[in-house]
Amino acid sequence: MSLPIFYIESAAAVNDIITLPEEASKHIIQVLRKQVGELVQLTDGVGNLLTAEIINDHKKKCGVRINDAVYTAPAKRRITVAISLLKNASRFEWFLEKATEIGVQSIIPLLCDRTEREHFRHDRMQGILVSAMLQSQQSWLPELHQPVAYEQLFRLEDVMQTSQKFIAHCIDSDRRELQREVSAVQPSQIILIGPEGDFTQDEIALALQHQFMPVVIGHNRLRTETAGVVAASLLKIV
């Protein structure tokens, strides 16, 4: 049976003694009823997975000693999904959860012409990513950017240096099937997913000017958050 896993902001070395945050301490001691001598796992979200022994079963300040540390290298390909924010925050949060479970490395919330702008609570969204990472027993946390105006996206160096760049839209044109275009030998991919109502013609044209390939991700018309999950899955399984 796998050990319960919890998030810490920074890793520790073997034999180090650390005090866990109150929320994790409460869950370990009060909910799971763990006691001194029992083991838990910890991750910092950047590849480090620690096995720790409880040495102080305080419900607010659980103390543990690090017994073992294992590092998992990042995925060979870096997958980024740049996706429009949604008026219904819970739908965007659902996308974040599923994208994390799939193994996306980077998420960029977009502000497009047709985006119905909502207040973006980065701390809450980050918490959703952490929970999804732990639930899926991963040790890498996706990078969550602050919302970016669509035009500004093309000024980001890491975006423009991505090996394969795609934009998914619904306008009839010369679009290719995403799953046929993704190359497993290329080190990075990014896909743009528009808001409800799709990208505007000008937004599509701007992406094409910056060498983004227009693609389709299925034959059905999908909601934004569904399109994001489908696109992430197609990019990941190659």
CB crowding 4-15: b at 16 or more within 10 Å, else e = bbbbbeebbeee
Q: What is the domain-level CATH number for residue 88?
A: 3.40.1280.10
User: 88 and 191: one domain?
Assistant: yes
Give the CATH number for residue 63: 2.40.240.20
pLDDT tens readout for residues 102-145: 999 999 999 999 998 778 899 999 999 999 999 999 999 999 99
Please tell me which residue, 151 or 238, carries the higher pLDDT value: 151
Q: Give the confidence band of 1 by pLDDT, cuts at 50, 70, 90.
A: low
DSSP code of residue 215: E
Domain that holds residue 18: 5-71
Considering the domain architecture, whether residues 43 and 86 belong to the same structural domain is answered as: no
- Alpha-carbon gap, residue 75 to 216, rounded angstroms: 25
What would the mean pLDDT of 65-74 be, rounded to a whole number?
96
Q: pLDDT of 152-209, one tens digit each?
A: 999 999 999 999 999 999 888 889 999 999 999 999 999 999 999 999 999 999 999 9
Based on the fold, state whether residues 154 and 47 are members of the same structural domain: no
Domain termination site, one of 56, 71, 86: 71
Task: Tell me which H or E stretch contains 208.
Answer: helix 201-209
Q: How many angstroms separate the CA atoms of 192 and 202, rounded?
A: 14
Same domain flag for 36 and 86: no
Domain count, the chain: 2
Contacts of 119 (CB under 8 A, 6+ apart): none
Query: Does residue 44 have a pLDDT over 90?
Result: yes
Question: Same domain, yes or no, for 133 and 226?
Answer: yes
Cα four-point dihedral sign 200, 202, 205, 210: negative
Helix (H) or strand (E) holding 236: helix 224-236
The pTM assigned to this predicted structure is 0.93
Which of 45, 71, 97 is the last residue before a domain boundary?
71
131 & 202 share domain: yes
Quote the percentage of the chain above a pLDDT of 70.
Answer: 100
